[in-house]
Amino acid sequence: MKPCLMLDVDGVLVHGNTKGGSWVENVERDLGVTSDILETCFFEPHWADVIVGKKQLLDVLERCLPPVAPWLAPQDFVDYWFAHDSLLDEALLSEADNLRRHGMSVFLATNQEHMRARYLMERLRLGEHVDGIVYSAALGVRKPDRAFFDGALKQSGSVARNTVLVDDMRANVEAAREAGWMAIEWSPGKSLVRLLGEECGCGAEV
């Protein structure tokens, strides 16, 4: 069975806005709502359910935005968020493309809700670079829960010993290893191929 690479998205393949900062850094200037208000009315009470598909993003925003930002349409907020959280690591993507051409299957393995998962695959065109996406809202569970990794194997058709996760969160890396995967803790500027060779003994020949 060919090896399978599972790439995390945020913090690995995608790094915020076009200047490399967080998508929320100019949200008050651009949309008239502070990041603190968004945290209080949206992220703290609802995000844990949205990210595993228990609640739908637009449904939640249609309830929580009007009391704090009645001028801001939920879809406009989502469009702003996604557009300002879309800076791709082109060097990493190029290495992943090369690995895929040499026989490695490549999937995104990410904690996402449904709308941004579609945005990543269609608008950012990552669907052209990977064999599929495994994401938390579709599985009903998020990393680092063991069920995420089990679901990822089922969806990809891979097996644990042939699968490597690249992720920037130590808890996710440790959970992947506990599930029998190989795993690499990512930091920007590294060479994917080199890390695969050093940490996992795969990919170095590409």
pLDDT score for 205: 43
- Sequence ranges of the domains in the chain: 4-16+87-200, 27-83
Q: Among residues 1, 36, 8, which one has the least CA distance to residue 135? A: 8
Q: How far apart are CA 66 and CA 199, in angstroms?
A: 49
Q: How far apart are CA 36 and CA 42, in angstroms?
A: 10
Instruction: Say if residue 204's pLDDT is above 80.
Output: no
Interval 31-86: pLDDT, tens: 999 999 999 999 999 999 999 999 999 999 999 999 999 999 999 999 999 999 99
pLDDT score for 20: 61
pLDDT score for 22: 85
- pTM above the 0.75 mark? yes
Q: Which of 96-100, 132-136, 151-155, 190-194 has the lowest mean pLDDT?
A: 190-194
**CATH code 3.50.50.60 for 4-16+87-200:** no
Q: How far apart are CA 55 and CA 62, in angstroms?
A: 12
